[in-house]
Amino acid sequence: SAHPLPLGMPAHAATPRVALCHVGMFSSGSKSARCLSRAFAAVRSPARRCDRRLGRRICSTAADVSINTNDLPSKKSDKASKVFEVCAAPGVVPEPSRLDAYLTVKVPEVSRGRIVASIKGGLVVVNGVHVKKPSHKISAGDRIVCEIPSPPPLEASPEDIPLEIHYEDDHLMIVNKPAGMVVHPSAGHESGTLVNAVLFHCRLPPMRVLSGNQSNPSAHEEKDDDEASSSKIYTQANISNHMLEFPSTFPDAIIRPGIVHRLDKGTTGLMVVAKDPFTHAGLCEQFAARTVRRRYLAIVIGIPNPLSGRVNAPIGRDPMDRLRMGVVRGVGGRQAASNYTVRTSLAQGNAALVEWQLETGRTHQIRVHTKEIGHSILGDDTYGGGGRSAVERLHRRGAMNIEQAKKVLQKCNRPMLHARTLGFQHPVTGEELDFAVDPPSDFAAIFQLLNDV
């Protein structure tokens, strides 16, 4: 059956598509609907992916390391651990000189806490000698071998959490993730996640799942990406009679039940969840090939200049704050590119509604790139979109008084970022599917406040 076109999407955009679904929160005649409608545009083809490897040796798992086996204590060696070899440049004083700090810089995808734990656990060797002091001073030319055990799996239990499902068949479903929901279990978020909700919806038993960005031990790098990769899942019961089953033809089952890509906790919008390994693998391939059609909407501070452009800046873990990402030009930075178009000016030029389309899928990519061009997402305290500076920028040229600006920021309980469209080829049927959902009420309210200035 035919579905209505998304607001502002021209008819020709639906011609090659078999299915098109639009879900809106506005009445067609409302002021918010008309304003946002004018801001939306047609889907564009994504650019090709570009990537590179980190600039230092990663020795995969401990069992595959091509180094002297005396370098690592066999009693403590973990079969699922990663081993890194780092060599300090000869003739140059290492900076920083502390062993833990130096490894944190050289191995940015591993937290300093895990590095310190490995050092204290006797899993770090400097010039063939085991070192257990994190404060050990590194000298020029030192050769360091560091083993990082994989974090233990977490148990995810089915939880009766309401899901806003916009499409579902035997192989996949499309959900509209609300603000505040974490996608997968991790330290501090063992329950209430999308994974917990999916397990309940699909009538699956509790599962032991890998946490955070932990990936397949056979992989050669840990990825700070928003797309999932193949890895292993451990079940506490035989699930062959359930929707989500993993036959022997799929030795590397999925890292988290059905999860193909991720959205940040504060980001709202469309996600696809796979129900079987074949569908999961097919969707992962499309994300890797950058053929998935996705558009995001963000309310940013100020108006980017030019009004449309491409941000090409590598992203990696911020060496000064492990909980943040940042533009990292050097070791630890991975190529990242984003395209943007300003859809409408807000608050007399002090803010703007901007559409984003990604060429790569790094963690926090849009949030980092908006900060990089000097136009952080409104409400994003982590990347410069909150606090006094945001209030002052909204107040510029007297567009609104300080109290009004403060009230706008107070209503932003999250970054104003929304994944509005999602399109892909169904891995089983071959149909081209496209979905769209309008931003939630909090996003629309902020948009209206700024648009009325």
Can you tell me the distance from the alpha carbon of 370 to that of 366, in angstroms, rounded to the nearest whole number? 6
CA atoms within 13 A on the CB side of 266: 18
Q: Which of 62, 77, 225, 217 is nearest to 153 (CA)?
A: 217
Q: Which of 162, 165, 166, 31 is nearest to 444 (CA)?
A: 31
Measured N-to-C along each axis, helices 402-411 and 387-395 cross at an angle, to the nearest 10 degrees, of 130
**What is the SS3 assignment for 441?**
helix
Strand-pairing partners, residue 315, are 327, 334
Q: Is 347 exposed, middle or buried (0-12, 13-18, 19+ CB in 10 A)?
A: buried
Q: What is residue 186's DSSP assignment? A: B
Can you tell me the distance from the alpha carbon of 172 to that of 198, in angstroms, rounded to the nearest whole number? 11
3-class secondary structure per residue, 280-330: HHHHHHHHHCCCCEEEEEEEEECCCCCCEEEEECCEEEECCEEEEEEECCC
CA distances from 53 to 147, 228, 245, 331, 366 (A): 19, 18, 33, 10, 21
Q: Which of 122, 271, 103 is nearest to 184 (CA)?
A: 271
Catalytic sites, residue numbers: 264
The pair of three-digit structure tokens given for residue 184, joined into one six-digit string: 């997968």
Length of the chain (residues): 453
Query: Given the structure tokens 């090409």, which residue do they identify?
Result: 312
- Number of Cβ within a 10 Å radius of residue 152: 11
